[in-house]
Amino acid sequence: MPAVPVAKLPKDYDKLPVPQPQPTSVRKREPKMLAVIDPGKCFGRGCEYCIAVCPVPDCITLTRDPAAPELDVCTVNFDTCIGCMACEKWCPDDYDAIRMLPFATVSKSRDAYETDTFSAELPAK
């Protein structure tokens, strides 16, 4: 395709903003794995590496720790998690709070993996 002659381009064409792809919170398909955070091991406020590296807006957020209401811990929104594993890779080794578990396992007993009702045993790395 031949280039458009410069004389035919709109005035200030070079100053027009270039549209950038925007991240969304809508999954295109179910992921194979979901991130699960153990609230007993998560340091929460002050660390927040997982929130910073997550490519999905508001997928990982800070919520009140059910065991210690004066503290915040990170929580994964299972409905928007895409299973990219970035959070697990960046979670500091001394916290070791995030595991990637099969989507079917988490979906089957979701209450056991939710922050407020967490009762699951996470496998060792």
pLDDT bracket for residue 1 (50, 70, 90): very low
What is the domain count for the chain? 1
- How does pLDDT run across 55-96, given as a tens digit for each residue? 998 999 999 887 888 889 999 999 999 999 999 999 998 888
For residue 85, tell me if it sits in a domain: yes
For residue 48, tell me if it sits in a domain: yes
Q: What angle do CA 57, 63, 65 make, to 5 degrees?
A: 150
For residue 7, tell me if it sits in a domain: no
Residues 39 and 76: their CA atoms lie apart, in Å, by 11
If we measure between CA atoms, which residue out of 85, 28, 93 comes closest to residue 55?
Answer: 85
- Output the average pLDDT for the chain: 83
Residue 115 CB neighbours (<10 A): 19
Whole-prediction pTM value? 0.75
Q: Which whole number is the average pLDDT over 22-36?
A: 80
Q: What angle do CA 51, 34, 63 make, to 5 degrees?
A: 40
Residues 12 and 21: their CA atoms lie apart, in Å, by 22
Residue 44 CB neighbours (<10 A): 21
Residue 95 identity: Y
For residue 36, tell me if it sits in a domain: yes
Given a contact cutoff of 8 angstroms between Cβ atoms, the answer to whether 31 and 82 are in contact is yes
Which domain CATH number covers 100?
3.30.70.20
- Residue 85, domain extent: 27-113
